[in-house]
């Protein structure tokens, strides 16, 4: 099969980790006889420097005509003084809007080789952890009416039934392919928008009888993630709550450099990126951890291309590489410290061997 992938290298360490993702996808193509065609495009700070805007129209057009988009990282202090509509991060928001991406999938997985890097006590963490937070991206308080009046300010949290239905369906689909358990997180004891949210999730649940649905209030969910994270498989929640809980879940793993993400819409086109920033302080030093990007390519294989065997092969190759004791500088717990390129090559070698 042939797949077209738009590649946004971005800023800081973005080009280094994006190159790692491309190399791994090329290795997947060679092993499983797929053809991946990569088209480099501009967005973020580099786009501002070259075109004056964070997202050129040509970039969005290429992304729309691709099967998936791979992003390294955007932003950096160089562009911090620009007005909001010209900041590098604005380009990322415009891509999501332009591609109709409404759901963010963020796995929080602790590999057994890195379990000691987690801030949780060993008796809480156990040997490993594997959960997913699904966050609604385009509604809620971040996109509601806002302003200031005499002596005060206001922000509006608003959701429509269609917005809730589509993110709920995405969450149920993901849960049905994993452990068949979904935890809905809201604040229905206080917020009217959360009452509609829960009612709508319950209605969608009728179409997924194979998935066990539970509900937690957001304050309790934040506590439970620390007390007993193993009770969760897939979490679905709104924009504000998801922003907070996904960051909390990410820290359970011990390194933000390990974590991938996928932003999806109604179809198969998605945006795939590590959750870490552009880290300009280590750019060009070959210290960047490429595993978040490599694991993002596994999500791409799974969700945009429907290639589950290939996705699992990448994930197993990463696990085998960590089991072999290789570590980039950000990963604690001993082992052999390697460069970005050496870590990438080690994953490719494991992939070619068949992983675990």
| Phi, then psi, of 75 in degrees rounded to 5 | 105, 175
Say whether 243 is catalytic.
yes
40: tokens are 């480099």
Say whether 3 is catalytic.
no
293: tokens are 């990007």
Residue 223 carries which DSSP code? H
Catalytic residue selected from 145, 155, 207, 219: 219
Q: 228, 230, 203: which is closest to 109 by C-alpha?
A: 230
Say whether 247 is catalytic.
yes
202: tokens are 């319950």
Distances (CA, A) of 310 to 25, 83, 135, 177, 244: 10, 42, 25, 15, 31
Catalytic residue selected from 67, 109, 159, 187: 187
Q: Which residues pair with 148 in a beta bridge?
A: 153
Collect all residues with Cβ–Cβ distance below 8 Å to 173 and sequence separation of at least 6. Answer: none
| C-alpha–C-alpha distance, residues 163 and 273, integer Å | 23
Catalytic residue selected from 11, 67, 186, 243: 243
Say whether 187 is catalytic.
yes
The CA radius of gyration of the chain, in Å to the nearest whole number, is 20
Q: Which residues pair with 213 in a beta bridge?
A: 182
Say whether 207 is catalytic.
no
Give the pairing type, strands 2-10 and 35-41: parallel
Catalytic residue selected from 142, 165, 323, 349: 142
Q: Hey, how many other C-beta atoms are within 10 angstroms of the C-beta on 198?
A: 16
Catalytic residue selected from 78, 130, 180, 247: 247
Active site residues: 142, 187, 219, 243, 247
């Amino acid at each position: 099969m042939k797949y077209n992938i738009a590649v946004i290298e971005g800023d800081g360490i973005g080009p280094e980790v994006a190159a790692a993702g491309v190399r791994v996808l090329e290795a997947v193509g060679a092993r499983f006889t797929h053809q991946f065609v990569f088209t480099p495009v501009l967005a973020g700070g580099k786009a501002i420097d070259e075109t004056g805007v964070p997202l050129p129209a040509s970039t969005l057009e290429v992304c729309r005509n691709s099967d998936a988009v791979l992003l390294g990282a955007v932003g950096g202090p160089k562009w911090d003084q620009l007005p909001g509509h010209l900041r590098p991060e604005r380009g990322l928001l415009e891509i999501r809007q332009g591609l109709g991406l409404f759901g963010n999938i963020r796995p929080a997985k602790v590999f057994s080789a890195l379990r000691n890097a987690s801030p949780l006590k060993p008796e809480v963490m156990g040997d490993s952890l594997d959960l997913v937070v699904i966050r609604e991206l385009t509604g809620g308080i971040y996109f509601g009416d806002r302003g200031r009046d005499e002596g005060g300010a206001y922000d509006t949290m608003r959701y429509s039934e269609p917005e809730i239905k589509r993110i709920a369906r995405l969450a149920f689909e993901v849960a049905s392919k994993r452990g068949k358990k979904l935890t809905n997180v809201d604040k229905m004891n206080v917020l009217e928008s959360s009452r509609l949210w829960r009612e709508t999730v319950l209605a969608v649940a009728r179409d997924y009888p194979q998935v066990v649905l539970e509900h937690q209030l957001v304050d309790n969910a934040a506590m439970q993630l620390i007390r007993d994270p193993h009770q969760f498989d897939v979490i679905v929640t709104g924009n504000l709550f998801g922003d907070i809980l996904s960051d909390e879940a990410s820290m359970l793993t011990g390194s933000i450099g390990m974590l991938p993400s996928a932003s999806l819409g109604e179809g198969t086109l998605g945006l795939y990126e590590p959750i870490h920033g552009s880290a300009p302080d280590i750019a060009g030093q070959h210290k960047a951890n490429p595993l978040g990007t490599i694991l993002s390519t596994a999500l791409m294989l799974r969700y945009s291309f429907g290639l589950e065997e290939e996705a699992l092969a990448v994930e197993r190759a990463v696990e085998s590489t960590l089991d072999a004791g290789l570590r980039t500088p950000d990963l604690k717990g001993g082992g052999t410290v390697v460069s970005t390129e050496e870590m990438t090559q080690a994953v490719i070698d494991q992939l070619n061997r068949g992983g675990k």
